[in-house]
Every structure is written in structure tokens, then in C-alpha cells.
């Protein structure tokens, strides 16, 4: 789905080369259009936030168009019978110099996207048990904050909140940073041993960048319901 010139101009002041999410933000938008999550969490606000909120708006519109379609036998009627009112919980404590997080809330209001986002000005480490139960389980999580300690703290405290029926956790900047790559190896070890049926893992690298250049996606599969639509006769 292309972004309008107006959208890109509006979000440009949130971009920071230090945060390096110029490709990540549109990727999040695409993944949300693909996965269609209802309850989302972002830790680390900035350029990525409006792309996530815009994706929720776009999915709401796509759903309405698809639901009105009468001549597409490929659509799944049960999917359209489900209530869909997506919401992003966005946590930031605004402590990182150079971050554009403090500008995000006002811009979302100006763009008419604030109805999709609830902003929490807090340290995520103090918020684990404070999430309103109506936001759980989380269908889509984008974590872009801190260093090794934060990655471990986040995974240890929030992974259990990710939807066991296929919820996605995406973590930024995971592959070429020695400490965080060690953290990813610890998750791969879990997957290879005790949690084979609980996690699927995939990482992507932007080869032209030295930092802020990667993402690791974990899919929580503990209670995935197998769906078979196509069976060869």
C-alpha cells in the first residue's frame, strides 16, 4: 500500500538517522496489513509510531471494503464475523537524547490517528503487570528500546503476554550488536531445546548499514490452531 506524499511529509519530523527506522517503519506497516492484529504494543516511540497507527487505519478500511465484496470466494467469512477495533499501546519514558518520542502524541492528533493509540509515559520495566487486561493477549509487539539488559527484561516479562495463538514479537537492531546478538542466540537455544513448539524465529538484515540494521521476529506458537483450507484431492 503506497504512502501518500502528505503522510510522508507529516511524519518526516519524527525521523532520526540515529534511530534508523526508515525501512523498518514501512515494513511494520506491511506486516500489520498482513497479520491484522487487534492489540498492539510499541516500546520506543518515534518515526515508527505513525506507520503503525496508519496501518491500523488502513486495515479497518480494507476490512470494510472486503466485507462488502460479494464476488470473492477466497475470503474467510468467520474472519469478517469477528469484531475488529485495533489499538496500539505505546510506552516511552522519553529519556533518550535525540529521540523524537515527545513529538509523537501531538502529531498523531493532527493526523487524526490518535484514536488508534494510547500513550503511556512510563518505564516499561515498571509496567509489566499494569497493562489493562483488555489489551491482552498482545497480537503484535514492536520493541525498540535500550540495550542487552532491556532486551532480557522485556523478553522475560512480556513474552508471556504475547498471544500464544500466533502473536508476533519484533525486536530491533538484533544481529550486528555483540550483546544483543547473544540475547538472540539465547532465544534460539530455547527454541532448539525446551520451547520448540512455542517459538518460530526469523531475522532480517539491512546489509548497507552498520547499526539499527536488523529485526528479529518471534512468533508465539504455543496454542496455534492449525487451519487447513487447501487439501489436494
The footprint of ligand SAM (CB under 6 A) covers: 16, 19, 21, 43-48, 91-96, 99-101, 123-125, 144-146, 150
CB of 16 to ligand SAM, least distance (A): 5
Q: Please say which residue, 50 or 86, places its beta carbon nearer to ligand SAM.
A: 50
CB of 95 to ligand SAM, least distance (A): 5
CB of 134 to ligand SAM, least distance (A): 21
Please give the helix or strand (H or E) that residue 171 lies within, else none.
strand 168-172
Would you state the cell numbers that stand for residue 139, as one nine-digit string?
497480537
- List, in order, residues 6 or more apart from 26 with CB less than 8 Å away: 3, 51
Q: What is the spatial order of strands in the sheet that 199-205 belongs to?
A: 117-121, 87-92, 39-43, 140-143, 168-172, 214-220, 199-205
CB of 156 to ligand SAM, least distance (A): 14
Handedness of CA 113, 97, 173, 150 (dihedral sign): negative
Q: Indicate the residue whose CB is closest to ligand SAM.
A: 46
Handedness of CA 49, 170, 58, 224 (dihedral sign): negative
- List, in order, residues 6 or more apart from 65 with CB less than 8 Å away: none
CB of 152 to ligand SAM, least distance (A): 12
Q: Please say which residue, 66 or 123, places its beta carbon nearer to ligand SAM.
A: 123
**What is the distance between the alpha carbons of residues 88 and 141, in angstroms, rounded to a whole number?**
9
Q: Please say which residue, 38 or 47, places its beta carbon nearer to ligand SAM.
A: 47
Amino acid at each position: 500500500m503506497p504512502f501518500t506524499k502528505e503522510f510522508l511529509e507529516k511524519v518526516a519530523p519524527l525521523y532520526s538517522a540515529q534511530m534508523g527506522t526508515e525501512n523498518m517503519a514501512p515494513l511494520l506497516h506491511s506486516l500489520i496489513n498482513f497479520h491484522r492484529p487487534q492489540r498492539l504494543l510499541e516500546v520506543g516511540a518515534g518515526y515508527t509510531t505513525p506507520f503503525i497507527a496508519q496501518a491500523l487505519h488502513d486495515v479497518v478500511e480494507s476490512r470494510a471494503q472486503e466485507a462488502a465484496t460479494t464476488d470473492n470466494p477466497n475470503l474467510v467469512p468467520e474472519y469478517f464475523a469477528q469484531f475488529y477495533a485495533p489499538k496500539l499501546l505505546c510506552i516511552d519514558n522519553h529519556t533518550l537524547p535525540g529521540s523524537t518520542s515527545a513529538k509523537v502524541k501531538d502529531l498523531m492528533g493532527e493526523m487524526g490517528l490518535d484514536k488508534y493509540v494510547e500513550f503511556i509515559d512510563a518505564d516499561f520495566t515498571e509496567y509489566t503487570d499494569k497493562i489493562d487486561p483488555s489489551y491482552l493477549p498482545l497480537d503484535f509487539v514492536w520493541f525498540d528500546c535500550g540495550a542487552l539488559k532491556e532486551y532480557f527484561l522485556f523478553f522475560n516479562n512480556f513474552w508471556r503476554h504475547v498471544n500464544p495463538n500466533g502473536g508476533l514479537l519484533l525486536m530491533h537492531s538484533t544481529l550486528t550488536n555483540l550483546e544483543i546478538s547473544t540475547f538472540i542466540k539465547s532465544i534460539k537455544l530455547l527454541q532448539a531445546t525446551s520451547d520448540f513448539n512455542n517459538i518460530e524465529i526469523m531475522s532480517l538484515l539491512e546489509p548497507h548499514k552498520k547499526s539499527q540494521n536488523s529485526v528479529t521476529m518471534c512468533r508465539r506458537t504455543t496454542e496455534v490452531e492449525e487451519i487447513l483450507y487447501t487439501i489436494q484431492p
